[in-house]
Structure formats: structure tokens, C-alpha cells
Amino acid sequence: MIGKTIIRFDSVGSTNNYIKSNSSLLEEGTVVVSKIQTSGRGRSNHSWMSDEGNLYFSFLINGYISRSKIFELLAKVSNTVIRLLRDFNIKSEIKYPNDILIEDKKICGILIESYGALEIDYVVVGVGINVNQLDFRDLNDKATSMKKILGINTEVEQVLEKFIEHYNVLENIPFTEIFNDYLKYSLIIGKRTNYNGETCLIKGITETGKMIIEKSDVIKYINLNEINIKDLF
Ligand code: BTN
């Protein structure tokens, strides 16, 4: 269960970093949320635009998770976002592995970071949801927000509440059901992309999060972190 304890900031470097620095002091499921982030981080060392008006938060998961279960967590978080947006009458899709898109524009990014030597000691899940932002500057053709879709402001706090509510419900739903939903909302399946300089067909995703591609009649299984899908056609 997440959200029993919520730590709120007006401003913080990065909610993921805050949890990482304080992991031994925080209890399992603690949520850290901030109105703005001064060093918001995305995947692949990208920065994450963190202007006021959107939702930036992270939560802590302690110990019990095995490396192979990271995809389960990712699928759960992705489905949580799909469900919460549906509550606001917004239909969204998942771009493997962890972007939530509306009409090809990103509304949410998920950053899952695990720490530990041989075993995972703890995992930090960071989520950024574009709620009330209208101008994304140089990312205007790549990003969207709830306000862009709905035309009205939404309380950021209400979006966080919905996230926590749906996530805690999904904690009690079998992974097979969550996985089926992940596939149902995945926009990459059946599309083509470039992999190692060649065009390949995306056939599916396995229950451990590998992407199944077909290249020159050969099936390959690609690891989550081996690919960053830029073009889909
Ligand atoms: C991505 O799409 O690249 C992932 C973006 C994740 C952004 C969130 S905002 C809250 C949390 N704190 C961070 O520094 N990053 C994540």
C-alpha cells in the first residue's frame, strides 16, 4: 500500500533523489510530492521539465522486489495512470516501456530506479503527470497535458489522490490481469520500428517485459533497457 505517509514540498531538486537520500528513514509506500522540481530527472539522463501546475511525485518500495518483478511494477504503474486519466474522461495509451501518451503526445513519464548490490534493497518509483501546463516550449509537438485535452484546470492534489487510490486497488489484482491491460493499451504492438539500423516488426511484449520483434523472419527478445523507441511506423 502506498500513500499512508505523504511528504509535501513546495520545491525540491527531484522527488526521486529525495527518497534515495532518505531511503533508510522512510517507511515503505511513503509518497513524496513537490509543486516544482529544480532538477527533475527523466529516463536516459534526460531532465524533466518541472514547472508549477503539474504533478511530480515518487514513492518508495522496500526490499521484497526481485529484479524480474520490475516490469510488473512498471505495468502496474502504467495501468494506474491509464485508469486515473479515464476517471477524467481522458483516453490514453502506453508507449513501451513507460510513457503514457495521448494522440502521440506524452502526458506522463515514469522513472523506476532500483538500488542494491546483488539483491535489490529498495526501489524508487517516480511519476510526472502533465496536469495544467499549456506551453511546453521546445517540446510543444511532443508533450500534452490534462488541461490541453480538457480545456480546464484540474487540482493537482486530486490527480495524486486518484493515483494512490487506483494503485492500491491494483495491488490486489493478479498480475495476469494487469499484464493483459498493459497489452491492451500498448500502442507499439503491430507497428514497425528501427532496431540496430534495420526495420523490424513489433510482435508483442512478454510477461517479463521483453519486447518481441521480428527481423528478417527471425524472432528476437529485446530487454527493456536495450531500446528507446523513437520512430514507430
Ligand atoms: C521519463 O519519461 O523520462 C520519466 C520522467 C519521470 C519524471 C518524474 S517527476 C517525479 C520524479 N522525480 C524526478 O526527478 N523524476 C520523476
The pLDDT tens digits of the residues spanning 3-39 come to: 999 999 999 999 999 999 999 999 999 999 999 999 9
What is the CB < 6 Å shell around ligand 1?
A: 14-16, 37, 40-43, 46, 48, 56-58, 99, 109-111, 126-128
Contact 19, 30 (CB under 8 A): yes
Residue 100 maps to a domain: yes
Nearest atom (ligand 1) to Cα of 41: 14
* Complete DSSP assignment for 135-187: --GGGTTTB--HHHHHSS---HHHHHHHHHHHHHHHTTS-HHHHHHHHHHTBS
Do both 39 and 139 map to the same domain? yes
Q: Is there a domain that residue 30 lies in?
A: yes
Looking at residue 130, its pLDDT comes to: 98
User: Domain range spanning residue 209?
Assistant: 192-226
pLDDT digits (tens, 9 = 90+) for 57-77: 999 999 768 877 899 999 999
User: How close is the Cα of 176 to the center of ligand 1, in Å?
Assistant: 27
d(CA 125, CA 75): 12
Asked whether residue 161 falls in the same domain as residue 205, the answer is no
Count of C-beta atoms within a 10 Å radius of residue 7: 17
Q: Does residue 201 share a domain with residue 168?
A: no
CA of 217 to the centre of ligand 1 (A): 37
Residues 17 and 128 in one domain: yes
Rounded to whole angstroms, the Cα distance separating 100 from 92 reads 7
Q: Does residue 145 sit in the same domain as residue 205?
A: no
Give the pLDDT confidence score for residue 64 in this predicted structure: 64
- Cis? peptide before 174, omega within 30° of 0: no
Q: Residues 100-109: pLDDT tens digits?
A: 999 999 999 9
Tell whether 222 is covered by a domain: yes
Q: Does residue 134 sit in the same domain as residue 201? A: no
Q: Are residues 116 and 198 in the same domain?
A: no
87 and 140 both lie in a single domain: yes
**pLDDT on residue 46:** 94
Give φ, ψ of 192 to 5 degrees.
-105, 155
- Ligand 1: atom nearest CA of 44 is 3
Percent of the chain whose pLDDT exceeds 70? 100
pTM of the model: 0.96
